[in-house]
Amino acid sequence: MPAAVLALTAGAFGIGTTEFLIMGLLLQVAADMQVSVSAAGLLISGYALGVFVGAPILTLATRKMPRKAVLLALMAIFTLGNAACALAPSYSLLMAARILTSLAHGTFFGVGSVVATSLVAEDKRASAIATMFIGLTVATLLGVPFGAWFGLMLGWRAAFWAVAAIGVVAFVVLAVLVPGHVGAKDKPAPLREELAVLGRPQVLLGLAMTVFGFGGLFAVFTYVQPILTRLTGFSDAAVSPILLVFGAGLAVGNVAGGRLADKGLARALLVTLGGLAIVLVALAAVVSFKALAVALLFILGIAAFATVAPLQLRVLEAAGVEGRTLASSLNIAAFNLGNALGAWAGGVTIDRGLGLGALPLVAAAITAVGLLLALWSLRLDRPAVLAAQCPAE
């Protein structure tokens, strides 16, 4: 992969760390801010909703700017937002700082996906996206567990200061490695044409399958710390190394999903979404057994991030050239709307008295909706494929 793609990976690492960081600090933040665990979980939903709202707005607002300048500006917002999180004196201000930080997320990954695919050959586009998203997997593999350790040793605020420092490093790497001329030849499509992408049924179906297909994961992952400590029986100190295991699974799944999508996108969608739903059901059966729970978390990591590249590439293909930047950012927003949906559904499940043990089954049901949407979308593709194969004489 070109160095510029690897620079995008560095930026993705920083953003991924702040997105997932709170999951390893949920109990500490809840205690310090004097709120319930489910209320602390809403800090994840608030971040995700900020991405959902901010992604299309910032993408359209920056559509005529050089893409490198956009990436650098977004990384600056990210860094300042994390510093604000570390300084927040109350729950409401922490939520506001999380939302500020989230504004950079969707447009960074949306613009970054377009930049990454423009730097490689046609048959490597999914792998380029997967390479950028390796930053997210490394964030989960290293950033989140070490964030949880920081929170345990030095307090949760220290973890946010550390992420702000990561933002500074990522800014420098992007400034040095991403060429200033990237995307210079691509003239932005007229605003009407970009917005027209929202009227394409396959784009809307692609966004919906992202919301539900990936969103199921967060009904479990948001509450992974209390699940491991209160249900499986691990100590607080054991959470960080277990998250390392989960993160290793994400790294494997991210690469596997990209390669699978390069070989056949339709099959990749069905295999990855179906596999994720099955693994979530299996997790419900073994969550009380320590060794089996850790093994299933590793497999869950593989299944979860194997969906990312296929889901992103599906929307990019459905959008076409003229709408790909907006569609790409919207799909990142859809990932985060799914995160918010999963976190909210998990909180409702807990508050209604169903318990932590019900979360994997709720998650599987959400992902199953995404699988059904994928089947519907691919079924709609068949007439177009047949028409292309058998043109009218």
Per-residue confidence (pLDDT) for residue 1, from 0 to 100: 66
- 137 neighbors 254 (Cβ within 8 angstroms): yes
Please tell me the distance from the alpha carbon of residue 51 to that of residue 46, in angstroms, as a whole number: 9
Tell me the domain boundaries of the chain.
3-385
DSSP 8-state code for residue 141: I
- What is the per-residue pLDDT for 56? 82
Q: Please tell me the predicted confidence (pLDDT) of residue 204.
A: 92
pTM: 0.74
* Cα radius of gyration rounded to whole Å, the chain: 20
pLDDT score recorded for residue 384? 53
- pLDDT confidence of residue 207: 93
* pLDDT for position 389: 46
Distance CA 355, CA 348 (A): 10
Separation CA 326–CA 324 (nearest Å):
6
Q: Is 4 helix (H, G, I), strand (E, B) or coil?
A: helix
The SS3 of residue 222 is coil
- pLDDT for residue 320: 76
Where do we find the tokens 């030095």? 154
Place of tokens 């990019």: 316
Reported for 90-99, long-range contacts at CB under 8 A and 24+ positions apart, including other chains, are 90/33, 91/33, 91/34, 91/35, 91/39, 94/29, 94/33, 94/43, 95/42, 95/43, 95/46, 98/22, 98/43, 98/46, 98/47, 98/50, 99/46, 99/47, 99/49, 99/50
The one-digit pLDDT tens for each residue of the chain (393 residues) are 677 788 888 888 888 888 778 877 888 888 888 888 878 878 877 887 888 788 788 888 887 888 888 889 999 999 999 999 999 999 999 999 999 888 888 788 878 877 887 777 777 777 777 788 778 777 767 766 777 787 778 888 998 998 899 889 888 988 888 877 665 555 666 677 777 777 889 999 999 999 999 999 989 988 888 899 999 999 888 887 888 888 888 888 988 988 898 888 999 999 999 999 999 999 999 998 999 999 999 999 999 989 988 998 899 888 876 677 778 778 888 887 888 889 889 989 988 888 899 999 999 999 999 999 999 999 987 655 444 444 444
**Domain with residues 3-385, CATH architecture:** Up-down Bundle (1.20)
Amino acid sitting at position 314: R
Tokens 């044409």, located at residue: 193
d(CA 23, CA 335): 17
